[in-house]
Structure 1
Amino acid sequence: MRKLFFASTLLSALSFSVVAAPTIVPDPPVIGANGYILLDFHTGAVLVEKNADQTLNPASLTKLMTAYVAGQEVSSGNISLDDQVTISERAWAKNFPDSSKMFIEVGTQVSLQDLYRGLVIQSGNDASVAIAEHVAGSEAAFVSLMNSWASKLELKNTSFSNPHGLDSDELYSTPRDIAKLSQAIIRDLPQIYPLYSERAFTYNGITQYNRNGLLRDRSLDVDGMKTGYTSGAGYSLATSATNGDMRLISVVMGSSSAKSRESESKQLLSYGFRFFDTISPTQAGETLSEVKVWMGQKDALNVGVNVDSFLTLSKGDSAKLVAEIETNGELTAPISKGEKVGNVIYTVEGKEVARADLVALESVEQGSMFKRFMDWIKRTISSWF
């Protein structure tokens, strides 16, 4: 392996008498929810967790998967947000007298776009059933899709039994799985996610307000996600917020009240933004270095990464990040564009914190017979020294 130091981020020049200050991150807040997690959207790094893999009743957090499954069907072209959905008796609002609903009426036609708002903003159980039937023909078939997507997203401790989240023995999830699901919605459904920031929706002459009170908290830049409550589950909240280029996702499950789920989520998010950074030290397609190539039509190859690199570091460690290139030995043509040729290794004070694939940013064809012969001579001579 050949190593080449190429960059350090915000690395200060220190005199011999100066010692770098140690990085100190205080203990995270301890909150009262039964389970919770805080993770970095870009990297998946977990900053805080307690009982993150304990199975709990997700209540209306279930509707995150309902939205995800329907959104995937929209993205694939199988359905459209402009579709007019005929409301069945099973989706009738009167079937949900003591729970949240959109107030849709049997036999009417409602656009899928409006049903989505009823699902996301009003947390309508009736909207959930209407969407499920439109997507899959029946609730049972839709639940099968929900569980299939849970498996694809590697939600290892999650099971769905309905599209709305009313209590059921076969319905459970964990803070970690809900956070991963929230991450998938933001990543995979850019046409759907903006609905989670809308604060109110009026349908059938009835205006309802988004139950996520953190959308109205000016001290945080919250743009989603979803509340949940049943008497069996308690109060839950999945939240996404940004600060500059950093996006954090918090999930609290089993809080004691609507106010506490908001204050607990705020504590987690504030802690993450205060003491951590998300940085992107290398961008896709950016030339990080030029490395030697043997037996090619040219002698040098531009190398970099094929996807943006993101790291989660404490604010003190961000200034100490160092990166180096490590190639897979001596590189020999032919080399194809995008081919992995080594690694980019990121370290903080000598400790590896992450690595990314180093790839060729261009192709190098094999050189002529004469060029290859000359390179053979040069490489043979260089190996003697």
Structure 2
Amino acid sequence: MLSVACVDAASAQAIQTSVPHAILIDSDTQSVLFEKDADAPVIPASTVKVMTAELVFHEIAEGRLKLDDEFLVSESAWRYGGAPARGSSMFAALNSRVRVEDLIRGLVIVSGNDAAIALAEGVAGSEGAFATLMMKRGRELGLTHSVFTNPWGRDDPEQRVTPRDMAFLANHVVKTYPELYKYFGEKDFTWNKIKQANRNPLLTMDFGADGLKTGNIDASGYGLVGSAVQNGQRLILALYGARTSKERADEARKIFLWGFRSFDSKTIFQAGETIGSAKVYGGNVWEVPLVADSEVKILLPRTGGEKFTGHIVYTGPLNAPIEEGKQVARLKILRGTTEVLDLPLKTAAAVEVGSLPHRAMDAGLEYATVLFRKYVVKK
């Protein structure tokens, strides 16, 4: 039976921030530690380059791209993303060929718009085609509330993300591509004899920040997607709408430090432990147990207090036959009305098709349920 004991809901939000949109998550448990209007659509500016990097990293991981491959710096990449545009640039020369590894550095360290365009054109042939891949990949990763239309953060009325989506995207990048994620943390990058410092101000601070991106255009204010580690714990922050670069840096540091000192980790279910069950239709059993792939942990505010609530969500009953290990449900844990955890659940055993009498009984029960809903619940 699902039972989640926890803590004071008010204390978990016992921090205020001047920025309008923010979310802080624990990387390991994916618990939401703090949020403020985190599902609002916001202009990503250059933080969209985290999605650009993810798609390039994915191509490398799939073997379709190598760090030593070279891409052309087209006139479009040079004119609209390079020195003539007077935006953030790695200063790649027109019609030069640049290694993918160097373009990645130009993208994530100095936020080069020319690097973003060159990577997009090299991977997909054009910015538009790459944006289509960004959308497709974003949906595969579960970024259902974000729309990507270009790889470098150019102002576009259709390009919008949510802080929640960007935080979970960042966590995916950190955990899935550790050998490529390291580029985000490099302190500077020199190209074409021009040395530039990493644009992420958190890297020079004292709380373990190690990467990801900042962003700013006139329409967006100052945004940041950041990651930091202390004592083996990694936190991910997405923050948007700061009025100045100083406010962005100060508020990010404050939220990170609060997160590191305010919570303790607790395992509530072991890997493979039955968390609950799903009803089955037409099988040789009435229910199938549900489990998670790994330990289910949540972070508890150290002040103690009330309980969290947990729910298993699925569309059912499930139709037999059902294979073992099939993802059929999600475990959702809420602190008050705030969802702090959302994890997939899988079947712990296979379910075979039941005997004819068993299936007939299931059919009768389902028909009775439909009638009840139709004639009783709706009246």
- Whether TM exceeds 0.5 here: the answer is yes
Q: Using a 3 Å threshold, how does the CA distance of structure 1 residues 96 and 144 change in structure 2: closer, same or farther?
A: farther
**Which residue is equivalent to 2:101?**
113
**Which residue is equivalent to 2:363?**
none
1:49 partner SS: strand
Superposed CA offset, 1:143-170 (max 9, x none): 0001111212222221111110011111
1:277 partner SS: strand
- Which range moved further: 26-35 or 50-59? 26-35
Contact 1:157 1:174 in 2 (8 A): yes
Q: Whole-Å Cα distance in 2 between the matches of residues 305 and 94 of structure 1?
A: 47
Contact 1:125 1:164 in 2 (8 A): yes
Q: 2:234 aligns with which of 247, 258, 270?
A: 247
**Which residue is equivalent to 1:233?**
220
Q: 1:59 aligns with which of 35, 45, 48?
A: 45
Contact 1:25 1:275 in 2 (8 A): no
Contact 1:96 1:126 in 2 (8 A): no
The structure whose residues are more often helix, as a share, is 2
2:131 is aligned with 1:140: no
Superposed CA offset, 1:124-148 (max 9, x none): 0000000001111111110000111
2:16 is aligned with 1:44: no
**Which residue is equivalent to 1:91?**
77
Question: Where do 5+ consecutive residues of structure 2 fail to align?
Answer: 2-6, 274-290, 308-322, 328-332, 334-339, 350-379
Deviation at 1:314, TM superposition (A): 2.0
Q: Whole-Å Cα distance in 1 between the matches of residues 151 and 36 of structure 2?
A: 27
Aligned residues: 311
Deviation at 1:277, TM superposition (A): 2.3
Superposed CA offset, 1:213-265 (max 9, x none): 111112x0111111001011111111111122321111110101111101111
Question: Where do 5+ consecutive residues of structure 1 fail to align?
Answer: 4-20, 287-303, 321-335, 341-345, 347-352, 361-385
Give % identity.
Answer: 38
Q: TM-score, normalised by structure 2?
A: 0.71
**Which residue is equivalent to 2:299?**
312
Deviation at 1:29, TM superposition (A): 2.3
Q: Which amino acid aligns with 1:234?
A: G
Q: Using a 3 Å threshold, how does the CA distance of structure 1 residues 26 and 284 change in structure 2: closer, same or farther?
A: closer
1:310 partner SS: strand
Correspondence 1:140-219 to 2 at 5 A: 140-218=128-206
Q: Whole-Å Cα distance in 2 between the matches of residues 26 and 337 of structure 1?
A: 37
Q: 1:270 aligns with which of 241, 247, 257?
A: 257
- Which range moved further: 181-190 or 272-281? 272-281
Q: Which amino acid aligns with 1:163?
A: P
Tell me the C-alpha RMSD between the 2 structures.
3.7
**Which residue is equivalent to 1:69?**
55
Contact 1:102 1:124 in 2 (8 A): yes
Q: Using a 3 Å threshold, how does the CA distance of structure 1 residues 137 and 243 change in structure 2: closer, same or farther?
A: same
Deviation at 1:94, TM superposition (A): 4.3
